[in-house]
Amino acid sequence: MRRLDASDPGFAAAFDALVNDRRESASDVSADVAAIVARVKAEGDPALADYTARFDRFDLDASGWSISKADCAAAYAALAPELRGALDLAAERIRAYHAAQRPEDRDYRDAAGARLGARWRAVDAAGVYVPGGRAAYPSSVLMNILPAKVAGVERIVMVTPTPDGTVNPVVMAAAHIGGVDEIWRVGGAQAIAALAYGTDRIAPVDVVTGPGNAWVAEAKRQLYGVVGIDMVAGPSEIVVVADAKNEPHVIAADLLSQAEHDPTSQSILFTDDGDFADAVAAAVAHVIPTLGTAPTMQASWAEYGAVIVVPNLADAIPLCDRLAPEHLQLAVDAAEADALFGQVRHAGSVFLGRQTPEAIGDYVAGPNHVLPTGRRARFSSGLSVTDFMKRTSFLALDADALAAIGPAAVALATAEGLPAHALSVQNRLKPNSP
């Protein structure tokens, strides 16, 4: 863990180093992924079966390619009531938040008499990647599927590896709640390639979203353009801005809630009180060994954790903006949280006040938990309904509207050396000429 003080002479350089930390895997899997993608494109299902046997030790032909909707419904019915209720509440709140994201069509006539507009439609089919093993999170299933469902996508396909045949019943229950249409027991780069190009069994989709390991992320990057994808995601991160009126152990747990995701996750505290900073650091050290995710938290906190003392909390905001964090928690009184938030330029999602731990946003708040990482909140946004839709602009002119704006198009086309463009307009400006 780094402890920085904004009043130290070396602070600017130390903070620069923090901002430029490269936490993402440097392992170059691009050649491996390119080979897998090319083989799935060429061979289809037999390639999927071969990779799945090799990587997941699972025989698709012998044991089944897919998980049925009935099995998912049964997994949902078999959940403990408290957990089922929690998933239902999460789904209801995620649906409600995302429903309001549906964009409105436009269709209007302007002063020149031109009819103009934009029309939104869902994509035909969406594919959602769900990791197997440790990172199989039912909450992520809901966060990826429900925006597609709200968008109106008619075919939602889930792909997930089932190593050694293992399936996660809570993930299946979440798929049931989300209304997945197909679940295929394939993972890795080969699953992304199958979604993009299609195989005999798996029809292609238009958009692929969902978290995955380095192979999955690289496959999405390579297939970007063949299909639409969500932003390539890196390790999770949180910045907490807190004053000394918080209890140190409360803020410590907030920091650790990101640290437990992955050894490359990052948790950073900004505070205006050096003693509080030290108390939080002590609380972190105290809490880590009490929880089952201690090794991951310890690795993340030791390598990437930071506690930063600033003269005033307002001084933290420009520094936060340089980090453009995925999650920003403003653990101060409500009015001050609002004031600080007003100054924030770059953050994926912001949690205001002392009673709003970031973990609420991972599950039941409603906004999407798929958020830009690695400073990408400077230019990108969390997953939304519009990621599963596309906009078609349209134009209709009558003869008068064309007469009003057509000559300018002819002038510009001529200036650009595009005579057929000019002619296609001119032909209509003189409708009686041959």
Positions marked active-site = 326-327
Residue placing its CB nearer to a copy of itself in the complex, 49 or 143: 143
Residue 243 labelled as part of a binding site: no
Under rule CB under 8 A, residue 144 binds a copy of itself:
no
Question: How near is the Cβ of 134 to a copy of itself at its closest, in Å?
Answer: 8
Single residue of 257, 264, 271, 298 touching a copy of itself by CB under 8 A: 257
Residue placing its CB nearer to a copy of itself in the complex, 4 or 344: 344
Under rule CB under 8 A, residue 155 binds a copy of itself:
no
Q: Residue 286 CB: number of other CB atoms within 10 A?
A: 12
Query: Per CB under 8 A, which of residues 276..295 are in contact with a copy of itself?
Result: 287, 291-293
Number of residues binding to a copy of itself, judged by CB under 8 A: 123
Single residue of 63, 118, 163, 193 touching a copy of itself by CB under 8 A: 118
Which part of the chain contacts a copy of itself (CB under 8 A), choosing from 6-14, 46-54, 176-184, 218-226? 218-226
Asked if 365 and 93 touch (Cβ cutoff 8 Å), the reply is yes
Under rule CB under 8 A, residue 345 binds a copy of itself:
yes
Query: Per CB under 8 A, which of residues 381..400 are in contact with a copy of itself?
Result: 381-382, 384, 390-399
Single residue of 187, 228, 235, 305 touching a copy of itself by CB under 8 A: 228
Which part of the chain contacts a copy of itself (CB under 8 A), choosing from 2-10, 53-61, 226-234, 312-320? 226-234
Single residue of 54, 57, 109, 378 touching a copy of itself by CB under 8 A: 378
Residue placing its CB nearer to a copy of itself in the complex, 179 or 357: 357
Amino acid identity, residue 133? G
Query: Per CB under 8 A, which of residues 395..424 are in contact with a copy of itself?
Result: 395-399, 401-402, 405-409, 411-413, 415-424
Residues 216 and 19: their CA atoms lie apart, in Å, by: 26
Under rule CB under 8 A, residue 297 binds a copy of itself:
yes
Query: Per CB under 8 A, which of residues 65..84 are in contact with a copy of itself?
Result: 82-83
Residue 176 labelled as part of a binding site: no
Which part of the chain contacts a copy of itself (CB under 8 A), choosing from 6-14, 44-52, 185-193, 246-254? 246-254
Question: How near is the Cβ of 92 to a copy of itself at its closest, in Å?
Answer: 10
Residue 257 labelled as part of a binding site: no
Under rule CB under 8 A, residue 17 binds a copy of itself:
no
Under rule CB under 8 A, residue 185 binds a copy of itself:
no
Question: How near is the Cβ of 315 to a copy of itself at its closest, in Å?
Answer: 19
Single residue of 1, 29, 114, 299 touching a copy of itself by CB under 8 A: 114
Question: How near is the Cβ of 61 to a copy of itself at its closest, in Å?
Answer: 28
Single residue of 1, 53, 73, 86 touching a copy of itself by CB under 8 A: 86
Under rule CB under 8 A, residue 339 binds a copy of itself:
no
Under rule CB under 8 A, residue 58 binds a copy of itself:
no
Under rule CB under 8 A, residue 337 binds a copy of itself:
yes
Under rule CB under 8 A, residue 43 binds a copy of itself:
no
**Adjacency order of strands within the sheet including 125-129:** 66-67, 182-184, 155-159, 125-129, 207-209, 228-229
Under rule CB under 8 A, residue 19 binds a copy of itself:
no
Residue 329 labelled as part of a binding site: no
Question: How near is the Cβ of 59 to a copy of itself at its closest, in Å?
Answer: 28
Phi, psi (5° rounding) for residue 135? Answer: -95, 20
Structure tokens at 193: 């390639």
Beta bridge partners of 106: 118
Phi, psi (5° rounding) for residue 116? Answer: -135, 155
Amino acid identity, residue 374? G
Asked if 90 and 364 touch (Cβ cutoff 8 Å), the reply is yes
Phi, psi (5° rounding) for residue 377? Answer: -65, -10
Binding site for Zn(2+), by residue number, is: 258, 261, 362, 421
Instruction: Please state the residue numbers annotated as binding site for NAD(+).
Output: 129, 190, 213
